[in-house]
Amino acid sequence: MDNQNMSIKPIAINYGLYYALFSVAIIIILYATNMEKNFAIATINVLGTIAVFVLAIIAYKKTNNNYLTLGQALKTGLGTAAIGGLLVAIYTYLHYTYIQPEFIDAMKQIQIIELQKQSANMSSEDADAAMGMLDILSSAGFIATMSVIGSLIFGLIVSLITGLVLKSE
């Protein structure tokens, strides 16, 4: 195998873009259909995301003379997750800041109601601290950051499993 150290960059960029386009399409579908949660769309999202990571690793293996190590699979999957996750995070931030800010407001109101139910057992300082945390946790920036972190964790898990299945002996 003379080409066992091929760069993952072009594949990670390509499939990262596919992943981002797919994820943004899901966000737009949920927004356009006015559904915050839908089991069928969530299932399609998970399966589609898994498919993108698996296809990226298969593409790397094919371009690398059908040779793949677990490390190469992890790098390919995490590269795809990082690029796609970053692009999705940018869109998510823009979407929940400018297109659908009412979603964050509604989410925040639900959390405030829950906090008020629990505040009977809290001191006023604890309740104030919880409200401050609520502002941070229900911001578009936090949701976008969690999107990147979730993408990386999911990409790691899928890449690990795919790499163990597809690695060359």
pLDDT in tens, 77-125: 999 999 999 999 999 999 999 998 888 888 888 887 887 777 777 777 8
- Cβ atoms 138, 145 nearer than 8 A: no
Alpha helix (H) ranges present in the chain? 9-32, 39-63, 70-94, 101-118, 124-137, 140-166
What is the rounded CA–CA span in Å between residue 128 and residue 69? 51
Amino acid 160 reads L
Q: Is the pLDDT of residue 1 over 70?
A: no
Apex 153 CA angle, 147 and 167, nearest 5: 135
DSSP state of 95: I
- Cβ atoms 166, 57 nearer than 8 A: yes
Q: Residue 74: how many CB atoms within 10 A of its CB?
A: 18
Model pTM score: 0.85
DSSP state of 169: -
What is the structure's pLDDT at 4?
59
What residues does each domain of the chain span?
9-100+147-166
What is the rounded CA–CA span in Å between residue 96 and residue 107? 11
